[in-house]
Amino acid sequence: MRKHVSTITTVLVFLTGLSLLLYPTVSNYWNSKHQTQAVAEYSDRIEKMDEQEKKQAFEQAEKYNETLISDPGRFTPTEEQDEWYKSLLDIDGTGMMGYITIPEIDCKLAVYHTVDDSVLQVGVGHMEGSSLPVGGSGTHCVLSGHRGLPSAKLFTDLDRLQKGDIFLLHIYDQVFTYEVDQIHIVEPIDYGLLNIEEGEDLCTLLTCTPYGINTERLLVRGHRIANRSGDNSRITSDAAKVSTVLVAVGIGIPLLIISFIAVDVSERVPKRKKKSKNRSKNRRRKATIQTRAKRIRTKQTSGRRR
């Protein structure tokens, strides 16, 4: 009974360790698939929208952006301003206003209203008080994402971007391309580099740094440039090409095989030890019997001589 308990405990410990090892990979895959579905559903909804609806949505977003230029308290909005903000570019109530692609680091993520923690756990958040991502002179959009989450990659590789790299914002059926021109590390409360500049069309990507410490903020700023060839192509993700069932089976079967092997090995080892002990006992018994027989023969020979 004790041997079986020991075997089961060993297998459970092994499976727990293996699960912890696989968790980041599996969870990141799952998040990637979630992002792919969100983007696909968003694109489908946009295709079904009337052109007049799209035009009105952009006009309202541009009107919102105009009010920010002369608002010194734009990063601390009132309840009324907050309600108006969340109603813009939100076609289905999920808060998703579009998605971002960063070719250099193979990043494709949904963009949602606000930088609430619930948003940043699954995608990129738009900082309220910054310009909505519809472009235009005198705008500065700020998008924030986490780094180093065990459940999702998100902006983990943002520090790899260099001046001259590009990123693209896909808002409704339009694409806005930005070229990185500034990279800065600032204190968390330093908003100076997020100001709206007259005549400029800017977008800043914001994340925590250094990696795993998160005491400062990394700002990667880009200015708008003309779209390049292929920028309007629809986004697909490798994650969408692999079925979740296949992933589960691919992970589950090896785990089961390893578990059975571990149980089989753990059960055979005691048996081998037991056989080895039995052999040793038999040898000792045989040696003892032979010694006694030899002594008896020696006594019998001595008696005959006398």
CATH at residue 105: 2.40.260.10
Is position 170 within any domain? Answer: yes
Is position 119 within any domain? Answer: yes
Query: How many angstroms separate the CA atoms of 122 and 16, rounded?
Result: 25
**Catalytic option among 107, 141, 203, 208:** 208
Enclosing H/E stretch for 81: helix 79-87
Looking at residue 222, its pLDDT comes to 98
Is position 84 within any domain? Answer: yes
Domains: count for the chain = 1
Which residue type, as a one-letter code, is found at position 288?
A: T
Which token pair is 77? 């909005």
**Number of residues that make up the chain:** 306
Is position 183 within any domain? Answer: yes
Looking at residue 20, its pLDDT comes to 47
146 is a catalytic site residue:
yes
Q: Do the strands 124-126 and 107-113 form a parallel or antiparallel pair, or are they unpaired?
A: parallel
Looking at residue 129, its pLDDT comes to 95
Query: How many angstroms separate the CA atoms of 9 and 7, rounded?
Result: 5
Query: In b/e form, how buried is each residue of 145-165, taking b as 16+ CB within 10 angstroms?
Result: bbbbbeebbbbbbbbebeeeb
Looking at residue 23, its pLDDT comes to 42
Is position 137 within any domain? Answer: yes
**Catalytic option among 113, 140, 146, 170:** 146
User: Mean pLDDT of residues grouped by 10 in the chain (306 residues)?
Assistant: 62 55 48 72 90 95 95 92 96 92 94 94 94 97 89 88 97 96 96 95 96 92 91 42 47 62 58 62 72 68 58
Nearest to 3 by CA among 283, 280, 272: 272
Query: How many angstroms separate the CA atoms of 126 and 131, rounded?
Result: 9
In sign, the C-alpha dihedral spanning 241, 246, 252, 256 is: negative
Task: Give the other-Cβ count within 10 Å of 58's Cβ.
Answer: 19
Looking at residue 142, its pLDDT comes to 98
> Whole domain around residue 133: which residue ranges?
7-246
Looking at residue 32, its pLDDT comes to 58
Helix pair angle (2-48, 244-305), 10° resolution: 170
